[in-house]
Homo-oligomer: A and B are copies of this chain.
Amino acid sequence: MPCRVTFLPHEIEIEVAPGTSIIQAALDARVHINASCGGEGVCGKCRVRIEEGAVEGGVSEKLSAEDVAQGYRLACQAFVTGDCRVRIPVESALDTGVLARRPPPRRTARMQRFDFEQLKEQGLFLAPVEKTYLEIPPPSAQDNQPDVSRLIGYLTRERGEHRLEVDLPVIRKLPAVLREAGFRVTATLVRPVREDGRTRLINVQPGDTTRSGFAVAIDVGTTTVCGELIDLATGATLAEHADFNAQISYGEDVISRIVYAEKPGGLERLQEVVVGTLNAILKKLIRRSGVDPEDIATIALAGNTTMTQLLLRIDPRPLRRAPYVPAASIYPPFKARDVGLKVGDHVTALVYPCVSSYVGGDIVAGVMGSGLYRSEALTLFLDVGTNAEIVIGNRDWLVCAACSAGPAFEGGGIRFGMRAARGAIEEVLVDPVTLEPMIVTIGRVRPKGICGSGLISAVAVLFETGVIDSRGKFDPALRTPRIREADGCREYVIAWREETQIERDITLSEIDIENLIRAKGAIYSGCMTLLGEVGLGVGDIERIILAGGFGSYIDLEKAMAIGLLPEIDPARVTYLGNGSLLGAKMASLTNRVRRDVVAVVRRMTNFELSETPSYMDNYIAALFLPHTDIDRFPRVKARLAARRGETREEPGNGPPLRT
């Protein structure tokens, strides 16, 4: 049951889950509380007074016994347990009313959940694997036909199966299994993906194992490999495990991996190494779920084009050289053992098809997993990382492109940038009056740096409070120790040295902001170029799907405020999570997805942005906050206008240090 938190003196209410910290509730309500230690409770700046209701914690040496007795707590250490009223003392919030009325509440995208039952209801379920228990009459002197003939004959007669293909490994084990089990066995049948295909008999097991049929779905990421072990009967995930792709030792990104693969033995080494990671994950999944490895029938894999080619030991050389040609789009199913996966020799593996060198199987998997390919609504699908992949379309058509956003969103090229890990500043508010920041870090510990969502948050708030202009430059009129010049470049101090874990001031400079603007400009202009190529505009986008780790924590309004995302109703944005893994899971659960993906991948028209003349124009226009053409962002425009109006109407509330 949610708890209602009312912040005084503004009487701003918000509902949060029990256990939410007061500072998080304030962030969500856009109520400013000074805080610069990231939530670890060491700066003591976030004193609030609990006037009604109960909270837990928040007592600190930073507070006197008298303070505590009066109801003072540190907002970052105090957690809501029921409805409460929280007063923000004047020292913790100078004129926060102005702030509180302006920005909309923080809105992250709705998570898209996987629902196996829904899949069935939608008629999208075509079992890829079926098990059937057989009590076969044993041979006799009068009937000594071969074991395989006996088995197939029985399946034909008693189960209506026909046109069966039998794999050699099944023939190898059949004589022993039939006799050990008294001719009572379970046959595993793999249904054809194509309608004109044949059912394959891939395994026989002694006794009745029909209740135990499993699949493994794996997202082979450049950085991280994630696997799930799935019950084919229920769609339930019985175990999941993720680990770094051991190829990381050979290069952080796909380009450096390709460079390594070009060395003698490099390709073979990278293949071995990623298979090692996959095998470790398989082992964990099997141990955690406690299933019999013999009951695993199929493996579905998805990865970007480079990861796919490296996994299959296919020379990736042409991927990084114009005209950027991948080896294949659709891959044939193969024996999992043939690439070195340690599973039963009956297990067939499937990799997602790739569209182009930089729109790979991970994106196709996301398109399948999200249901985009079946959607009526015109959808923008976005997977942001070093490369951002963009898909636009619906069930009738699909276009896609990859753009090199640069590593800014992963903390690269930003002086204090870092990955989204413990100690990374993930959200920033700035008091428009004092220009003091309110920051929250991942893990609520003292900050070490700033991650992608923190950057977006910081730049958005600095822009909307007028600290930086639409070019990302600091307002020279502002006077505060937080804004200073270093090495001929202005910067904003987000956290003072003593508040950090790194014993240095954490800052955000104009160069950092420029890098972020370039990154968001690349993505936005990629979207615009694709839309333009099909004769559409931003207004035509009915839905946005965000995929990848980046999308989960992103504050949608802020992402739109900086012009990273086109401005649409945040309710129309959904977050897919690991779309690659979801797609792999879908492919392992239903042949319908395996069948449809062939048509989908043929329908996905790839644009090489570097070869699309309009891209450069779009890019240059996007190198502003939020964009050269502010009319594309009416909500941002309105907020900026409101700020200017308020500043004009209430000059007493203007920044006190403004000259």
Q: Give the interface of A toward B (CB within 8 A).
A: 139-150, 165-168, 171-172, 174-176, 179, 196, 312-315, 317-318, 322-332, 334, 338, 354, 356-357, 608, 611
Cβ–Cβ < 8 Å partners of A326 in chain B = 146-147
A142 to B611, CA, bound (A): 8
Closest to A355 in B: B146
Closest to A140 in B: B323
CB of A266 to closest CB in B, whole Å? 14
* CB–CB A325/B172 < 8 A: no
CB of A352 to closest CB in B, whole Å? 14
Q: Which residue of the partner chain, among B146, B150, B166, B327, contacts A146 with CB atoms under 8 Å?
A: B327
Cβ–Cβ < 8 Å partners of A143 in chain B = 323
* CB–CB A141/B608 < 8 A: yes
| 25 CB < 8 A contacts A-B | A141-B611, A142-B611, A143-B323, A144-B323, A146-B325, A147-B318, A148-B329, A148-B330, A149-B328, A150-B325, A167-B332, A168-B312, A168-B331, A168-B332, A168-B338, A171-B314, A171-B328, A171-B331, A172-B313, A172-B314, A172-B315, A175-B315, A175-B317, A175-B318, A176-B315
Cβ–Cβ < 8 Å partners of A334 in chain B = 168
Closest to A316 in B: B175
* CB–CB A312/B172 < 8 A: yes
Cβ–Cβ < 8 Å partners of A139 in chain B = 323, 325
Most buried by B among A146, A172, A313: A146
Not counting A147-B327, A167-B332, A176-B317, a sample of 5 additional A-B residue pairs whose C-beta atoms are within 8 angstroms of each other reads: A145-B325, A148-B330, A168-B338, A171-B328, A175-B314
Most buried by B among A175, A318, A338: A175
CB of A373 to closest CB in B, whole Å? 19
CB of A142 to closest CB in B, whole Å? 7
A167 to B331, CA, bound (A): 8
A325 to B175, CA, bound (A): 9
Cβ–Cβ < 8 Å partners of A142 in chain B = 611
Closest to A317 in B: B175
A458 to B139, CA, bound (A): 44
Cβ–Cβ < 8 Å partners of A325 in chain B = 139, 144-147, 150, 175
A322 to B138, CA, bound (A): 12
Cβ–Cβ < 8 Å partners of A171 in chain B = 312, 314, 327-328, 331
Cβ–Cβ < 8 Å partners of A332 in chain B = 165-168
Cβ–Cβ < 8 Å partners of A146 in chain B = 325-329, 354, 356
CB of A190 to closest CB in B, whole Å? 14
Cβ–Cβ < 8 Å partners of A331 in chain B = 168, 171
A140 to B608, CA, bound (A): 11
* CB–CB A147/B328 < 8 A: yes
* CB–CB A328/B608 < 8 A: no
Closest to A357 in B: B144
**A172-B313, A312-B172, A356-B144 known; A318-B179 Cβ under 8 A:** yes
Cβ–Cβ < 8 Å partners of A312 in chain B = 168, 171-172
Closest to A150 in B: B325
Cβ–Cβ < 8 Å partners of A354 in chain B = 146
Closest to A356 in B: B144
CB of A174 to closest CB in B, whole Å? 6
Most buried by B among A145, A314, A325: A325
Closest to A324 in B: B144
Cβ–Cβ < 8 Å partners of A172 in chain B = 312-315, 327
* CB–CB A323/B141 < 8 A: yes
Cβ–Cβ < 8 Å partners of A315 in chain B = 172, 175-176
Cβ–Cβ < 8 Å partners of A317 in chain B = 175-176
A148 to B329, CA, bound (A): 7
Closest 4 CB pairs of A and B: A148-B328, A144-B323, A146-B326, A146-B329
Closest to A318 in B: B175
Cβ–Cβ < 8 Å partners of A327 in chain B = 146-148, 171-172, 174-175
CB of A22 to closest CB in B, whole Å? 55
* CB–CB A608/B144 < 8 A: yes
A331 to B175, CA, bound (A): 14
Cβ–Cβ < 8 Å partners of A323 in chain B = 139-141, 143-144
CB of A442 to closest CB in B, whole Å? 39
A329 to B148, CA, bound (A): 7
Cβ–Cβ < 8 Å partners of A144 in chain B = 323-325, 356-357, 608
A357 to B354, CA, bound (A): 48
Cβ–Cβ < 8 Å partners of A179 in chain B = 318
Closest to A176 in B: B315
Closest to A173 in B: B315
Cβ–Cβ < 8 Å partners of A322 in chain B = 141
A550 to B459, CA, bound (A): 92
A490 to B324, CA, bound (A): 89
A312 to B142, CA, bound (A): 27
CB of A400 to closest CB in B, whole Å? 14
* CB–CB A166/B318 < 8 A: no
CB of A631 to closest CB in B, whole Å? 34
* CB–CB B328/A166 < 8 A: yes
CB of A451 to closest CB in B, whole Å? 34
